[in-house]
């Protein structure tokens, strides 16, 4: 008779065999999966390495192209703006290095810089608008009668600054100019780089940065565009340059989309690159021939750089 011990031994042997099979099968399966994973990781590592090499190659190529453009800029721009004077204004988000490189290209073209002004963030701050309006009312000379009277501080202040810094029919004495500019500096809405010439130019280059992105971005971007418009009213030649033409509230895009502004203001996107900085100087040269154009690689650009007629 088969006793209980026999059953126990038999069942134990069966379960032991199952356990051994399971372990062996799992080990074999794990080995296969592990090999597949290892192959995939190796493939991804190689692919990432190739992509990294391509990125580095493209970066090196872009840097080389940028350097080449800087080297030939003196030849491209030589004499293009000789005898011309220009005011340079930078927006609240503009990069100082980009502005300085634009100034350098203008000088390479022979231009005389009559002044450099930076609009600070407080200039476009909605909470500062009343203060701008009050100051403008206090410092406006009696002879200036053409300022807008809409109760918008940034609009009125921009119009007065354009009148003070650019050549126009309003008689602005050097003392009045100094008093007005000092007032805005004291309010903390702008900075002046060096001395402003007593002989104002007819031309202005405005270097913008990326659009504002904070909670009050729409108001600030609208305010800066209003400043651009007021300088356009007074200037005879004007170029607006920015790193891109993309982003909500971008001033370059706004000008290009405005059928009226696009006829008088030249725009350049890509001012962070040497090509854009050269294009800015060339666009100003074109402005002195009575033509406006839109340059770069962004939406609304008609060419990368102007084609100057001899």
Q: Structure tokens of 23?
A: 């372990």
Positions of the chain with pLDDT under 70: 1-34, 38-39, 42, 47, 49-51, 53-64, 310
pLDDT of res. 1: 46
Summarised one tens digit per residue, pLDDT across range 98-157 is 999 999 999 999 999 999 999 999 999 999 999 999 999 999 999 899 999 999 999 999
- Nearest of 204, 213, 211 to residue 298 by alpha carbon: 211
Residue 241 neighbours by CB distance under 10 Å: 31
pLDDT of res. 281: 98
Cα angle for residues 92, 96, 100 (degrees, 5° grid): 130
Residue 266: per-residue pLDDT: 99
Q: How far, CA to CA in Å, does 223 sit from each of 50, 90, 91, 119, 122?
A: 46, 14, 11, 11, 11
Residue 278, both tokens: 């050269």
CB 243 within 8 A of CB 272: yes
Question: pTM of the full predicted structure?
Answer: 0.82
> 82-121 burial, b for 16+ CB within 10 Å, e for fewer?
eebbbbbbbbbbbbeebbebbbebbebbbbebbbbbbbbe
């Amino acid at each position: 008779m088969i006793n209980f011990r026999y059953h126990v031994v038999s069942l134990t042997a069966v379960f032991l065999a199952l356990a051994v099979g399971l372990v062996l099968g799992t080990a074999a399966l794990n080995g296969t999966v592990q090999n597949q994973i290892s192959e995939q990781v190796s493939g991804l590592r190689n692919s990432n390495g190739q992509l990294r090499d391509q990125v580095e190659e493209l970066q090196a190529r872009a840097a080389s192209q940028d350097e080449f453009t800087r080297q030939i800029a003196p030849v491209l721009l030589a004499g293009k703006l000789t005898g011309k004077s220009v005011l340079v204004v930078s927006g609240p988000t503009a990069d100082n290095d980009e502005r300085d490189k634009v100034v350098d290209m203008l000088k390479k073209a022979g231009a005389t810089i009559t002044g450099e002004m930076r609009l600070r963030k407080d200039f476009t701050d909605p909470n500062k608008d009343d203060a701008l309006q009050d100051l403008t009312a206090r410092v406006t000379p009696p002879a200036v009668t053409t300022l807008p009277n809409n109760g918008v501080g940034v609009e009125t202040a921009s119009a007065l600054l354009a009148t003070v810094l650019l050549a126009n029919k309003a008689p602005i004495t050097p003392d009045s100019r100094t008093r007005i500019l000092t007032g805005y500096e004291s309010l903390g809405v702008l900075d002046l780089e060096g001395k402003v010439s007593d002989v104002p130019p007819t031309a202005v280059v405005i270097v913008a940065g990326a659009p504002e992105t904070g909670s009050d971005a729409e108001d600030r971007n609208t305010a800066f565009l209003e400043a651009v418009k007021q300088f356009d009213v007074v200037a005879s030649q004007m170029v607006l340059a920015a790193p891109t033409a993309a982003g909500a509230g971008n001033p370059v895009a706004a000008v290009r989309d405005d059928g009226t502004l696009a006829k008088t203001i030249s725009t350049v996107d890509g001012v962070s690159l040497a090509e854009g900085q050269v294009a800015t100087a060339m666009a100003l040269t074109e402005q002195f021939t009575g033509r406006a154009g839109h340059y770069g690689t962004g939406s609304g650009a008609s060419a990368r750089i102007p084609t100057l007629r001899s």
